[in-house]
Amino acid sequence: MKHHYKFCFGPWNISEGQDPYGPTTRPAQTFDWKLAQLKKLGFDAMMFHDDDAVPDIDSKSESQIRKEAKELKKRLDGEGIVAEMVAPRLWFAPQTIDGAYTSNDKRHRQYAIDRSKRCIDIGKILGTDLIVLWLAREGTYIREAKDGRRSVELLVEAFDAMLAYDKKARLSIEPKPNEPMDHAYLPTIGHALAIAQLTRDPKRVGCLIESAHAILAGIDPADEIDFAMSFGKLWSLHLNDQNGLKYDQDRPFGCTNLRSAFDQVRALERNGYGKNGEYVCFDVHPFRTTKVEHWMAHLDNSRRTFLRLLEKVRSYDEKQAKSLIANRDYQALDQMVIEHLLGK
């Protein structure tokens, strides 16, 4: 089947099986090994955190960071692999314990902005203007610990500092309602697109939808796609799945709710996602039980499921669906979708 979609994942999607209750279940692998897996599976691009691109970034000078980013760019070019985006990992360092841009400590807020600028430098060298902001610790454990109104101002200040630092950079906010925080400040796409309007250059502030994050907010991921794309603001995508309101599971795409996955692919198709060069990324993790020899299956399977669902979207009987809708026979429409997904 002919299609225009290009696929992507990040090095953290080849995780080693650690959870809060136990150690790793698979051996650590080098970045080169991960890159080779991406090539082998025929994916097109890799996503990077700033410290995936330049390890131990906080201990390195600006010139060292640039030097290492240039070396990485050479390697990626040699392999024919594109860097889709770079994201500042603002949730690991001791300076981000109480949040990054919204920390109550001014020096820590400055750390977060400085680090974001280094992330933009890396993006520039790797050839991407897309900076993804998963605002992991921008929220509270205790609501009274921060002033919510002030936090919005601090977020806008930080975004403005990034937009001013590089006139080409585009910020793609990845909302998530909770975890690691009790409540996050930008829980949904509506929040991300609303705060974009307060920045110095709203045109360069868009969003990234992660299916599981929408599910955790009790929102339909397909509706989030339609909403973001109505504003022309869906610049990246993390497809995966999530079984209810639990810890963030990052399950393979379609693994829990096939019908919702079908609706997501259908929304992407009707909005022409990918036609401006956007990538379909899978932010999925192998199960803890996964053996080394099956390590890449969750990524391969997510893409297979996506492509199978694309066939289902394209062979969906739109005419029949329209006439059922006109007759308000949603009972039959419901069954038609189920039987279409079940196949003959």
* Interacting residues with ligand XLS (CB under 6 A): 49, 87, 132, 134, 174, 176, 210, 238, 248, 283
Minimum CB–partner distance for residue 12 and ligand XLS (Å): 6
Q: How far is CA 100 from CA 216, 275, 323, in A?
A: 22, 34, 52
Which of the listed partners (ligand XLS, Mg ion, none) does 87 bind, with a CB threshold of 5 to 8 Å by partner kind? ligand XLS
| Of 11, 283, 285, 324, the one binding Mg ion by CB under 5 A | 283
Phi, psi of 146 (to 5 degrees): -135, 160
Minimum CB–partner distance for residue 210 and ligand XLS (Å): 6
Indicate if 49 belongs to the active site: yes
Identity of the residue, 118 or 238, whose beta carbon is nearer to ligand XLS in the bound complex: 238
Identity of the residue, 72 or 87, whose beta carbon is nearer to ligand XLS in the bound complex: 87
Whether residue 41 contacts residue 32, with contact meaning beta carbons closer than 8 Å, is answered with no
Site for Mg ion in 172-211 (CB under 5 A): 210
Q: What is the DSSP string of 216-266?
A: HTT--HHHHHHHHHHTT-EEEEEE-B--SSSS---BPTTSS-HHHHHHHHH
For Mg ion, what does the binding mask look like between residues 228 and 257, x meaning CB under 5 A? ----------x-------------------
Identity of the residue, 52 or 313, whose beta carbon is nearer to ligand XLS in the bound complex: 52
Which of the listed partners (Mg ion, ligand XLS, none) does 224 bind, with a CB threshold of 5 to 8 Å by partner kind? none
Residues in Cβ contact with 224 at an 8 Å cutoff, skipping those fewer than 6 apart: 188, 189, 209, 214
Q: Cα torsion at 38, 40, 45, 46 (round to 10°)?
A: 10
Minimum CB–partner distance for residue 239 and Mg ion (Å): 10
- Greatest Cα-to-Cα distance within the chain, rounded to the nearest angstrom: 66
Which of the listed partners (Mg ion, ligand XLS, none) does 132 bind, with a CB threshold of 5 to 8 Å by partner kind? ligand XLS
Identity of the residue, 163 or 212, whose beta carbon is nearer to ligand XLS in the bound complex: 212
Outline where DSSP puts E strands in the chain. Answer: 7-9, 45-49, 82-87, 130-134, 139-140, 170-174, 183-184, 205-210, 234-239, 280-282
Minimum CB–partner distance for residue 283 and Mg ion (Å): 4
Minimum CB–partner distance for residue 183 and Mg ion (Å): 18
C-alpha–C-alpha distance, residues 124 and 129, integer Å: 6
Cis peptide before 180 (omega within 30 of 0): yes
Identity of the residue, 108 or 238, whose beta carbon is nearer to Mg ion in the bound complex: 238
Identity of the residue, 65 or 136, whose beta carbon is nearer to ligand XLS in the bound complex: 136
Strands 45-49 and 7-9 come out as parallel
Indicate if 213 belongs to the active site: no
Please identify which of the residues 3, 19, 32, 49 carries the catalytic annotation. 49
CB atoms closer than 10 angstroms to residue 151: 20
Minimum CB–partner distance for residue 195 and ligand XLS (Å): 18
Please identify which of the residues 3, 19, 32, 52 carries the catalytic annotation. 52
Residues in Cβ contact with 80 at an 8 Å cutoff, skipping those fewer than 6 apart: 39
Whether residue 144 contacts residue 182, with contact meaning beta carbons closer than 8 Å, is answered with no
**Residues with a known catalytic role:** 49, 52
Binding site for Mg ion (CB under 5 A): 210, 238, 283
